[in-house]
Amino acid sequence: MIHPPAHRLIAARIRTLAAAALLAGSAGAAAGEPPHTLPPVRAVAAPLDRAAPDSLPASLDRIRLDPQRGGSERHIGDALRGVPGVQVRDRQNHARDTQLSIRGVGARASFGIRGIRLLLDGLPVSLPDGQGQISHLLAAASDGIDVLRGPFSALHGNASGGAILVHSARIAGEGEALRLRASTGSHGTHSTHARWLAGRNGHDLALTAAGYRSDGFRAHSAARAAGLNAVAGLDAGAAGRLTLALLLHDQPEALDPLGLDRVQWRQDPAAAADAALQFDPRKAFREHRLAAIWEADTASAGHWRLGLWQGRREVEQFLAIPVAAQRNPLSSGGAIDLNHVHDGFDLRHGRAWQAPGGEMSLTLGLALERLRQHRRGFENFVGDRLGVRGALRRDEINRARAEGSYAQLQWATGARGSLLLGLRRSRVELASSDRYVTPDNPDDSGAAHHARTVPVAGYLHRFSPSLRGWLAAGGGFETPTLAELAYRADGRPGLAFDLRPARSRNLEVGLAAQRGRTAWRLVVHGSLTDDELAVVRNVGGRSSFANLGDTRRRGIEAWIRHEPVEGWQIEAAAEWLDARFRRGFLRCAGAVCPQPDTEVAAGSPLPGIAARQAFLRLHWQPRPGWEAAIESEARAAIPVADGSPERAPGHALVHVALRRVLPLRGARLAVYARVENLFDRAHVASVIVNESNRRYHEPGPGRSLLFGLEWNRP
């Protein structure tokens, strides 16, 4: 739903963009040699999500979702393992979602994804305040994922780490395709999905239904989920093309085992924390989303695209907050009820023309996103019963509104060079209206407004047909989310509207080549962030944030793929990342902390980030119909808290997979098996940063098996 005065907003922004176009530039999903490449699509005046590979000065991994890997296809997180610069941590806890960070941004999130922009078919699935999650994005409904890092990701909006662009599966041309898949594995894990693609007379339809359930590796970690995706494309001839999309997701149960301290993890990695068994922390989550995209491409009018979407999200979550802590009249209780309604539009226009010295293309865009959140808090007890909804302790209406205007200019300076310039103006408004006011709990209504203009620039140079290099620089802008505002660090009620946006300056230098059977890429990057947003207290799943000084991130990313002989492929990726605070500050070290009291010295590493990470995959296809793979992933120890010497130990895991494809009456039947953690190594899958009870560790499973069947026609 577009806000009623949207036409006036569009007119005003177009006037602004006309002036900005002289300075601004074009980029967007960027370039780089990907581990798995999709067929390139050349787009005139390529916008942020339609850029061709190898043509832009940025790091882009274009991933093809490959059934050879034999994953459960519950969500897209499994496909991102092995992408340099991306750290994916499966918490083994569906109540908190997968932990995902890019170049060290996002590691602080105690649940969901932060600092990374998520888009589905070019439209944001991140909320206007920047909060996102991937649990409802079905890998089974997708054909590919673009993972963008570096300065140009800032053109996607409220994020400073990167952008993940998911593309729905569509059929090309006439015909139909049907895929059925079912798998079962360790810890009572079962996954199924069905996908049907059809195309006729320029129209196409894609339907995907999926279900998932697991007893969980740890005690008190069972989960159930189901999802449905539908995408229809309608060809209107000269009037353009209309795409309609529906997303439904229902997760009625996700139990939270909480973290373990180091002694508990060593004694029994599969155990749940005592508080989890006492309070029964859990989350139920439901979402639906409707989207429409109209596109028209003509030689005279250029490319036009208008996207509209509206979604609703309902969350009920019970936390392990002690009863005594809720006796405080300013407490928000220990149970959360959230109801989100979010909508928006994105309008863009692109045009290309011949300019002195080469071809030039320009894209101008406007975006508006809105969120209305009804947040209520309840006690998590009734009398002596724990883990149930009790008395109301919080009731407020929160709103977020994000306006963006962007301009992108690309100038292909002959066969060897390409210059990109970009500019995005963002304004984010956050407001809260308190509806729970008592003599002991005053009105905590408030608002905050943040705005910033972010420039980016890059240059790509081809040294030879097989070797290219690039340089890119730009700013970043990341506002606090409503979830980060929800609980003040000083324990007072109301939202923490004193939090400031984090502002970053980013630089990237890259070199990539492809010759014959070998492709490689080497990237050096660095960023300086002011007013870094970080966790100061994390108790029972409830986090408080503050602007904890300035930070520095710098790193090296390397990737190579080689095919030594027919049927063999080797792929390797490695990352070195140094992320540290540039200034010292005080933080809370205990569960009870009226004021920060523990010093964190300048030069301390940012918690939640592995300084070194590596991935290796050997794929073998001895003859048609047979495939086998060995994978190894390793990472260094991870700091668990600001200024603390404690680390979650590093580890190296080995996985193996086998797949056999058989022809079956005009179709194909695939039988596959996968063994995760072949050598049964004890390890910590992820950490809960700054957990005040020192329960930092979220253990990973030992040796796990997965077996499955997949039927495809044709």
Average pLDDT, integer, range 643-654: 94
In one letter, which amino acid is 350? G
Residues 6+ apart with CB under 8 A from 493: 330, 332, 394, 441, 442, 444
The arithmetic mean of pLDDT across residues 50-66, rounded, is: 79
Domain segments of the chain: what residues? Answer: 6-713
* CA distance linking residue 69 with residue 338, whole number of Å: 36
Containing 264, the helix (H) or strand (E) segment is: helix 262-267
pLDDT category of residue 538 using cuts at 50, 70 and 90: low
Q: What CA–CA distance (Å, rounded) separates 703 from 680?
A: 5
Q: How high is the mean pLDDT of the chain?
A: 87
Beta-bridge partner residues of 473: 457, 507
Percentage above 90 pLDDT, the chain:
65
Residue 173 clears pLDDT 90, i.e. is over it = no
Which band of pLDDT confidence, cut at 50, 70 and 90, is reported for residue 67?
low
Largest CA distance in the chain: 78
Q: Which residues pair with 704 in a beta bridge?
A: 676
DSSP state of 458: E
Does 42 score more than 50 pLDDT? Answer: no
* Helix (DSSP H) and strand (DSSP E) numbers for the chain: 4, 39
Q: For residue 190, what is the enclosing H or E element?
A: strand 189-200
Of 201-215, 282-296, 344-358, 379-393, the poorest mean pLDDT is in 344-358
The sign of the dihedral angle between the CA atoms of 683, 685, 688, 690 is positive
| pLDDT computed for residue 416 by the predictor | 87
Write down the pTM of the prediction: 0.88
Minimum mean pLDDT range among 17-31, 148-162, 266-280, 540-554: 17-31
CB-based burial label for 156 (10 Å; 0-12, 13-18, 19+): buried
* Residue range 418-427: mean pLDDT, rounded: 94
Residue 19 pLDDT > 90 = no
What pLDDT does 592 receive? Answer: 58
Give the pLDDT confidence score for residue 670 in this predicted structure.
95
Determine the Cα–Cα distance for residues 217 and 181; give it in Å rounded to an integer: 23
pLDDT at 307: 97
Distance CA 582, CA 602 (A): 5
Q: pLDDT tens digit string along 601-626?
A: 889 999 999 999 999 999 999 999 99
Cα–Cα distance, 686 to 607 (Å, whole number): 11
Between CA 401 and CA 479 the distance in angstroms is 12
Neighbours of 642 (CB within 10 A): 27
Dist. CA 56–CA 673, nearest whole Å: 38
Asked if residue 65 lies in contact with residue 145, where contact means CB atoms within 8 angstroms, the answer is yes
Instruction: Select from 3.40.50.10860, 3.40.190.10, 2.40.170.20, 3.40.50.11540 the CATH code of 6-713.
Output: 2.40.170.20
Q: Which residues contact 413 (CB under 8 A, 6 or more apart)?
A: 357, 358, 419
The DSSP-derived string for 386-404 is ESS--SEEEEEEEEEEEEE
Q: What is the pLDDT of residue 621?
A: 94
| Opening angle at CA 634, ends 628 and 635, nearest 5 | 155
Residue 497, token pair as written in the block: 């509207």
The model's pLDDT over 442-496, given as tens digits with 9 standing for 90+, comes to 898 999 999 999 999 999 999 999 999 999 999 998 998 888 888 777 767 778 8
| pLDDT band at residue 53 under the 50/70/90 scheme | low
Task: Determine the Cα–Cα distance for residues 340 and 313; give it in Å rounded to an integer.
Answer: 5
The span from the CA of 510 to the CA of 303, in Å, is: 30
Q: Rounded mean pLDDT of 134-162?
A: 89
Rounding to the nearest 10 degrees, give the CA dihedral for residues 257, 258, 259, 261.
Answer: -90
Segment among 44-48, 428-432, 437-441 with least mean pLDDT? 44-48
CA triple 608-611-613, angle to 5 deg? 100
Q: How many CA atoms lie within 13 A of 102 on its CB side?
A: 24
Strands 162-168 and 116-120, sheet pairing: parallel
Confidence category of residue 544, pLDDT binned at 50, 70, 90: confident
Q: Quick check: 100 and 134 in contact, CB under 8 A?
A: yes
pLDDT at 436 over 60: yes
Q: In the prediction, which pLDDT does 133 show?
A: 87
Which of 249-258, 451-460, 568-577, 639-648 has the least mean pLDDT?
A: 639-648
pLDDT for the residue numbered 662: 95
Q: Residue 173, CB half-sphere, CA atoms under 13 Å: how many?
A: 1
pLDDT of 47 > 60? The answer is no
Distance CA 17, CA 11 (A): 10
Identity at 252, one-letter amino acid code = P
Using CA atoms, how far residue 398 sits from 236, 316, 385, 483, 484, in Å, is 40, 17, 30, 10, 13
Range of weakest confidence among 38-42, 145-149, 228-232, 486-490:
38-42
